[in-house]
Amino acid sequence: MDALSTLAAVLNLPGPGRPASASRDWAVTETSLGAELPRDYKRFVDTYGPGVIDDHLVVCAPGGIGDWTDLLENNEMAQESCRIWFGGGDTSGAWPLGDSARWEGEDVPDWFRAGDDLISWGATPNGDFLYWHIRPGVAADDHPVVLRERGPYFERFEAGFAATLTGLLTGAISSFYLSRWLKAPHSYTRVPAV
């Protein structure tokens, strides 16, 4: 069983098969974000749509309703919040997170390098964001997942979208900030998209 099928089983969803709706135009989204997105995420969203895991963790998708489920709008907010921490409060424009000339202070994690990026795919009602850590030359399916708590606190998981979520839901991966909110039996509530 692949990681996406395992995640679907943990969430009590039917196995990923045919997408529930017409497949999204991922090329447009990826061009807008400046990076290719992992296949397991795209397959999950094409099959199940945007939604909420355990009434807490929002999985965004292109075309989600409002800024809390729309991938592009959520990412814009998530990146702005990182710019505030990385740049010592500098909110003067949408500069790339990997622009080390803009970094001030000690809030940039030690694993984040010049040229890297963070693309947010999820959030929580607590103001936490989930990202992929985008590194130059690394394949999209190999981008690790990062949780940024609403302050400048990060947790980085060395697994992709489906494997990280499955690990968090089963307890194989522990998060100081997130694990207490994810309790069995697990569920996924789809949120309509436009």
CATH number of the domain at 94, please. 3.40.1580
3-state helix, strand, coil in the chain (%, to 5): 30, 20, 50
Tally of domains in the chain? 1
Name the DSSP letter for residue 193: B
Please give the pLDDT value at position 17. 66
**Domain range holding 160?**
3-190
Instruction: Please provide residue 136's backbone torsions phi and psi, each rounded to the nearest 5 degrees.
Output: -55, 135
Please give the pLDDT value at position 97. 86
Phi-psi region at 122: left, alpha or beta (left = phi > 0; alpha = psi -120 to 50)? beta
Please give the pLDDT value at position 173. 93
Please give the pLDDT value at position 117. 92
Please give the pLDDT value at position 58. 95
| CA nearest neighbour of 57 among 193, 188, 175, 166 | 188
Q: Quick one: which H or E segment has residue 187? A: none
Please give the pLDDT value at position 19. 57
Q: Are the beta carbons of 65 and 193 closer than 8 angstroms?
A: yes
Residues with pLDDT less than 70, the chain: 1, 17-23, 67, 90-91, 193-194
pTM, two decimal places: 0.91
